[in-house]
Amino acid sequence: MRNIDVCPTPELLHLYNLQNTVVVVVDILRATSCITVALAHGVARLIPVATLEECRKLQEAGYLAAAERDAKKAEGFDLDNSPFSYMDPGLEGKTIAITTTNGTLAITQSREAVKVIIGSFLNLSAVTNHLLEQSYDVLVVCAGWKGKVNLEDTLFAGAVVEALQHDFSINQDTALIAKILYQVGKKDLVAFLATSSHVGRLHRMGIHQDVNFCLQKDKFDVIPVLRGHALVKL
Amino acid sequence: MRNIDVCPTPELLHLYNLQNTVVVVVDILRATSCITVALAHGVARLIPVATLEECRKLQEAGYLAAAERDAKKAEGFDLDNSPFSYMDPGLEGKTIAITTTNGTLAITQSREAVKVIIGSFLNLSAVTNHLLEQSYDVLVVCAGWKGKVNLEDTLFAGAVVEALQHDFSINQDTALIAKILYQVGKKDLVAFLATSSHVGRLHRMGIHQDVNFCLQKDKFDVIPVLRGHALVKL
C-alpha cells in the first residue's frame, strides 16, 4: 500500500525520504494559495526562488517579480503575496518570479521528489483526486513559519490525509496529528484558525480578506506542478 | 505575562530561545516516565547521557547503567527502559547512568535553560503546579522519535498548555495544536493513543503494560530536576 506522510516544517525535511514520492507543498497563508490563483487566472509560469537576490535578478532579466518577507511586499518588486493581486487580467500569459518567507523555500527544497505539486484549500479536491490516481507515496510538506510548525498548513495536510486514508497507509504520528486536527476544525476553518499565530499577524495588518479567501475549498480545478525550475499547470 | 510554548522535537530546539525559560522535557514512552518512577522509588540520582559510549564509561566507573535503543535494552547494560524496572527496592540510594533513543538527548540539549525539569503524565500536576508558582517562561521540549514528532509527547505538552493557559500567553501554533489534541484525547488517553506509531511499536514487542502504566496521571508527586549533570528530586 502507498504511504501518506506529513513533514510539518521544511526544517525536518532531511528526515524524510523523497524517493518514489510525490510531494505536495503547502503554504496556505499565502504562497501556495497565490500560485493556485495565478495559474487559474492565466499566468503562464511562476518561478519559485528562495532569495530576494535571485528574484531581483529574474526581475532584471525582464520577468515580473513577486516578493514577500514578514507578510509584507519587499521593496522594489512588482507583486505582493495577496491572492487578489494574481487575478489581474494583465498577468495572462506572463512569467512571474516569486519568493516568499516560507513557501518558496519549501518548494525549492523538495526538488528531489518524483514530482512536486502545489496544494491549497482552493484546489484541495483537484490535488487529492490526482494523488489517488497515481502510484507513488505522498508527502505533504508544510511551509510553516520560519522553521516552526503552523496550524493552517497542518490543517491542510490533515485534509489530504483524510481524503487519502482508505487508499494509503498512515505510519507516522505527524500524519495522524494533522488528520485529527482537520477533523476537529473542518466544519468552520475560519473560526478554528482565528486563534492561530499567523492569522493574528495578518489580522493585525488588516488582511482579513486574504485569510477568508484562502480558506475556501475547491474554488479552482488547477494543479500547479514543478517542471524544471517553473511551476505550470499540470 | 509569561509565555508557554512547545518544541515538538529536539531537531527544532535551535529555533527556540531558552533564556529566561524553564524547560520541561517529556518522553512519555518511556524515558521521562522511568525517571519519574525511579526518583519516586528512592533512586538518588540519574545521569542522562546522549551516547552508549558515555553510558558504558559511567558503568565502568561503578554506576548502574540503563541503556535503550530502538525500544530494546542495549547489550551489556544493567537496566532497560521499562518503568517497572525502576521500582526495585535494591535501587534505593543508587546513582544510575541512563541513555535512551530520544529522551536523554532532549535533556542534554536543553541545558542552557534557567532550569530543566522532567515531565510525564505520572507527575503532571506536580509539574504544572510548580510551573504556575515560578516566574519564568515555559518551554515543553518533546523528545519525539528520531527527530520526528510523536503523538504521546505532544499530548503531554497539550496537558501542560491547558493547565497553564489562564496564567501564560500562547503565542505559537505548536502550543495551540498540542492543546487542541489534548482536549480531544484527554478523556481516554489509552484509546486515543492506540493508533500512534510508537504505541504500535511497543505493542508489537508485547509491552502493553508499560504503555498503560505511563498514561496514568498524577501517580507521583516528585519533580526530577537537572542539577549539574544529574537528575535529582526538586
Cross-chain Cβ contact A148/B172 below 8 Å: yes
For B2-226, CATH gives: 3.90.1560.10
How many interface pairs between A and B have CB atoms less than 8 angstroms apart?
Answer: 74
Match 521499562 to its residue by C-alpha cell: B82
With beta carbons under 8 A apart, name residues in chain A contacting B146: 15
Q: Are B149 and A8 in contact (CB under 8 A)?
A: yes
pLDDT at B193: 92
Nearest CA in chain A to B180: A181
CB contact under 8 A, A145 and B173: yes
CB atoms within 10 A of CB A166: 7
Tens digit of each residue's pLDDT (9 = 90 or more) over A88-127: 999 999 999 999 988 888 999 999 999 999 999 999 999 9
Give residue-wise pLDDT tens across range B146-171: 999 999 999 999 999 999 999 999 99
Structure confidence at residue B113 (pLDDT): 98
pLDDT-based confidence at B52, cuts 50/70/90?
Answer: very high
Q: Where are the alpha helices (DSSP H) in chain B?
A: 31-40, 52-60, 103-109, 124-133, 151-164, 173-185, 189-192, 197-204, 208-214
Of B154, B171, B197, the CB nearest to A172: B197
In the predicted structure, residue B205 carries a pLDDT above the cut 90:
no
pLDDT of A70 = 86
Residue in B148, B174, B184 closest to A174 by CB: B148
Q: How close is the nearest chain B Cα to the Cα of A153, in Å?
A: 11
**Best interface-test mutation with B: which of A177, A179, A198 has the largest number of B CBs within 10 A?**
A177
The reply to whether omega before A30 is within 30° of 0 (cis) is yes
Task: Give the type of residue at B43.
Answer: V
Candidates B148, B177, B184; nearest CB to A172: B148
CA distance B13 to chain A (A): 10
Whole-number pLDDT of residue A139: 98
Average of per-residue pLDDT across B121-131: 98
pLDDT band at B78 (very low <50, low <70, confident <90, very high): very high
Report pLDDT for B109: 92
Q: Which fold has domain A2-233?
A: putative 2-phosphosulfolactate phosphatase (3.90.1560)
The whole-number average pLDDT for the span B89-112 is 94
Rounded Cα gap, residues A208 and A82, in angstroms: 11
Instruction: Determine the Cα–Cα distance for residues A21 and A18; give it in Å rounded to an integer.
Output: 5
| pLDDT tens by residue, chain A, 234 residues | 999 999 999 999 999 999 999 999 999 999 999 999 999 999 999 999 989 999 999 999 999 999 999 888 999 999 999 999 999 999 999 999 999 988 888 999 999 999 999 999 999 999 999 999 999 999 999 999 999 999 999 999 999 999 999 999 999 999 999 999 999 999 999 999 988 877 878 878 778 899 999 999 999 999 999 999 999 999
CB A76 within 8 A of CB A44: no
Q: Band of the pLDDT at B177, cuts 50, 70, 90?
A: very high
